[in-house]
Amino acid sequence: MSLFLSLTIFLVLISLGFNMNNFDKKEPIVSFRDVCVSFNSTQILKDLSFDIYSGEIVTIAGPSGSGKSTILRLLGKLIYMDSGEININAQKLGMSFQRSALFNSMTIWKNVALALEETTNLSKKKINKKVQAALELVSLAHTEKMYPDELSGGMQKRISIARALVVSPEIILYDEPSTGLDPGTASKLEDDMIRLRDKTGVTSIVVTHDFDTIKKVSDRVLILYDGKIRWEGTKNEFLTDESPYPRSFRERTSIEDLLPPT
């Protein structure tokens, strides 16, 4: 009897364990709760809350100055919040900045290898393998001996993505990836972003005000305005929902008219 009882308890615990595991899978990889940030007494993020799930490409869409880069800087721990809570369920983040920020005096190989050389004890051979793999992911393996100013702006941006990817991050952050690129180059970069997610499963957080980028890469869209997420939905909902925020993006009307009077 007691054997039966302990067996039952054992099975119940195991099934609880399974349930916990299932539950874990739905845990967000990033969550913001009531995050506030002010600069010089102007509040930029006002009790901002949102969740991001593993493997998705989420775009945070908002007009210039709405605090998009601030969100990425918080994630990268480059700045701190005034209050609130941020949970990141990942060991490594890769950040590709709005400007490529490559070192002009170093070869492309060195630019991409640097993070590994500085933060790991990997052998040169292993580092080289990872650099090659990262460059191949953005289809630029042939540029390794070149210098940044020998490459176009679009190629430099793709190198900065390779540099972010070389440490095998679980999350990659893109700040305005298509800004400053002609439509054809932007479109290729967006193809890269989708392919990277498909190949590596990396969770991708893209901040942008570019409608074409949002339309192309997003699984889900969050609209940031006046310090808060004002709307969220799937890409399809973003493209069809008749509510004011997605409509204002689609019709490129002024989002400023949408706020309720305070």
| Interacting residues toward ligand ADP by CB under 6 A | 39-40, 44, 62, 64-70
In the chain, the N- to C-terminal Cα span, in Å, equals 69
Q: What is the largest CA-CA distance in the chain?
A: 78
Nearer to ligand ADP, 225 or 238 (CB): 225
Nearer to ligand ADP, 10 or 39 (CB): 39
Q: Look at residue 44 and give the partner it binds from ligand ADP, Mg ion, none, a contact being a CB closer than 5 to 8 Å depending on partner kind.
A: ligand ADP
Separation of alpha carbons 261 and 226, rounded Å: 12
Dihedrals φ, ψ of 173, to 5°? -110, 130
Nearer to Mg ion, 153 or 201 (CB): 153
Q: Which of 140, 144, 204 is nearest to 175 (CA)?
A: 204
Nearer to ligand ADP, 67 or 154 (CB): 67
Nearer to ligand ADP, 48 or 151 (CB): 48
Separation of alpha carbons 250 and 226, rounded Å: 19
Report in angstroms how near the CB of residue 221 gets to Mg ion at its nearest.
Answer: 17
Nearest residue (beta carbon) to Mg ion = 69
b/e burial code for range 54-85 (CB count within 10 A of at least 16 → b): beebbbbbbbeebbbbbbbbbbeeeeebeebe
Separation of alpha carbons 88 and 105, rounded Å: 34
Nearer to ligand ADP, 59 or 111 (CB): 59
Q: Give me the residues that bind Mg ion (CB under 5 A), please.
A: 69
Separation of alpha carbons 111 and 255, rounded Å: 39
Report in angstroms how near the CB of residue 98 gets to ligand ADP at its nearest.
Answer: 8
34 in helix, strand or coil?
strand
Separation of alpha carbons 29 and 52, rounded Å: 6
